[in-house]
Amino acid sequence: MTNARWMKCCVILGAMALLAGCFERPPVDAVQRGFRGTGMDQIYNPRSVQAQAAINGLPPDTPPMPAVGPTAGQTFQNVKVLNDLSVGEFSRLMVSITAWVAPQQGCTYCHAGNDMASDALYTKVVARRMLQMTQHINADWKSHVADTGVTCYTCHRGQPVPAQTWTNGPVQKAANAGNKAGQNSPLPTNGMTALPYDPFTPFLQQANNIRVVGGEALQNGNRISIKQTEWTYGLMMHMSESLGVNCTYCHNTRSFADWETSTPPRAVAWYGIRMARDLNTSYLDPMAATFPAARLGPGGDSPKINCATCHQGAYKPLYGQSMLPNHPELAKVRSVMATVSPAAAAPATAGGSSAAVLFAVGSKAVSDDGTKALAPVIDALKADATAKVTLSGYHSASGDTATNEELAKQRAFAVRDALQAAGIAPERIVLEKPQVAEANVAGEDPRARRVEVAVMK
């Protein structure tokens, strides 16, 4: 089993015993990506590649407007996200989002009549949250979207509803025929296989472990089951289909679990799973009451995001072309969003009680110096029982980002554990996402490897 298409072929073969079903014309191209003999080839069908190229062009755009003159916040009545854009930047963005999301419907898709300030239409309320979500993806999920980032067009492609979304599957009651657990329903979501058709709820909404290889031989403590394996494979089929790649794009199939022999895109995919989960739980799910009933799933939940929502069959959405140079306003977190990113706006510290705990290269152990640096912070927290403390792990800009981020996270955990050991309650400790150190801090500078600790009133 080396690739998705092969698995599909096996299904067709088994069902129809018809060899001809396996060969597509014109012949497919194979591209070797791994070492010779590892079988890490990618299979491309020229017809699908051609169809893909057609939907991955960029829409026409205009150059950015200057950030001068009065701001949208000063000029308009009901602007909550884009307040610090200039009126020129704001108006241009309104024209762009109309082209990206509602080109047929126009401004009135989100605006009720001539009263632009009114929030009467749910589409405007959703669009405002989508503006925040887009900024959040571009600012806080660089571990996945890099500097390429996304705009509304990445998902919407000129449609009010993105082509690929999902909702929780219908709840299946155990009837006489038994509970199918979502199986034997070949749908595009599971690559037309008999695997569970909703592998999204457990992994892209809930945070279940994507593990198949058990760590223990005996039942005691080993929760890896055939059912869990099937969910995992269902998700993997979806990931392959969404990116238009085979399993070997990410795995050396000698061992699916082994990270050492996996390809770099697998680490990017790992962050993609976490990002999709974050977007669904922080943005889409809470909007269930905002969407009209017709947009909700059978269980009353919001339509949600999976890999296909952005990727739509391409290994990188829009083949990795970035629209952000023309839309810097969507690239960084501004105004009200600044509270979400500690790097953009340093939190106010109480009585100067902040500290930087430095770490040795590759180490996640809090040193004696680190313990000393934490002492005044612990004192301040004990003096003010209502104050909270935020921890942000920084790492150098050099080396492998995924490894660095994981290390930054582990270091933040180590500082958290040290604070807890000193008697600080867990709910007073707020962990922030790992940050890349400032460009002027070289990789060798110990300040690049730090956890910043700040007490907040």
Residues 49-88 binding ligand HEC (CB under 6 A) are 76-82
Q: Of the two residues 272 and 370, which places its CB atom closer to ligand HEC in the complex?
A: 272
The tokens describing 191, both together, are 């690559």
Question: Omega into 325 within 30° of 0, i.e. cis?
Answer: no
CA proximity to 453, closest of 397, 386, 374, 379: 374
Q: What is the Cα–Cα distance from 22 to 18, expressed in whole angstroms?
A: 8
Restricting to residues 312-341, which ones interact with ligand HEC according to CB under 6 A?
315-317, 320
Residue 104 touching ligand HEC (CB under 6 A): no
Q: Of the two residues 189 and 240, which places its CB atom closer to ligand HEC in the complex?
A: 240
Q: What is the Cα–Cα distance from 109 to 118, expressed in whole angstroms?
A: 13
Restricting to residues 4-33, which ones interact with ligand HEC according to CB under 6 A?
4
Q: Considering only the stretches 10-18, 46-54, 310-318, 376-384, report the one whose residues sit in contact with ligand HEC under the rule CB under 6 A.
A: 310-318
Q: Of the two residues 51 and 95, which places its CB atom closer to ligand HEC in the complex?
A: 95
Q: Residues 6 or more apart from 253 whose CB is under 8 A from it? A: 1, 2, 39, 40, 247
Compose the 204-223 pattern: x for residues touching ligand HEC by CB under 6 A, - for all others: ------xxxx----------
Restricting to residues 106-135, which ones interact with ligand HEC according to CB under 6 A?
107, 109-111, 116-117, 123-124, 126-128, 130-131, 134
CB of 79 to ligand HEC, least distance (A): 4
Using CB under 6 A, which of 144, 327, 416, 450 touches ligand HEC?
Answer: 144
Q: For strands 429-431 and 354-358, give the pairing.
A: unpaired
Q: What is the Cα–Cα distance from 51 to 31, expressed in whole angstroms?
A: 19
Residue 393 touching ligand HEC (CB under 6 A): no
Q: What is the Cα–Cα distance from 329 to 331, expressed in whole angstroms?
A: 6
Q: Of the two residues 281 and 379, which places its CB atom closer to ligand HEC in the complex?
A: 281
Q: Of the two residues 200 and 359, which places its CB atom closer to ligand HEC in the complex?
A: 200
Q: For strands 29-32 and 41-44, give the pairing.
A: antiparallel
CB 183, CB 194: distance < 8 Å: yes
Compose the 150-189 pattern: x for residues touching ligand HEC by CB under 6 A, - for all others: x-x-xxx---xxx--x------------------------
Q: What is the Cα–Cα distance from 207 to 209, expressed in whole angstroms?
A: 7
Restricting to residues 240-269, which ones interact with ligand HEC according to CB under 6 A?
240, 243, 245, 247, 249-251, 256-257, 265-266, 268-269
Q: What is the Cα–Cα distance from 309 to 456, expressed in whole angstroms?
A: 38
Q: Which helix (H) or strand (E) holds 436?
A: strand 435-436
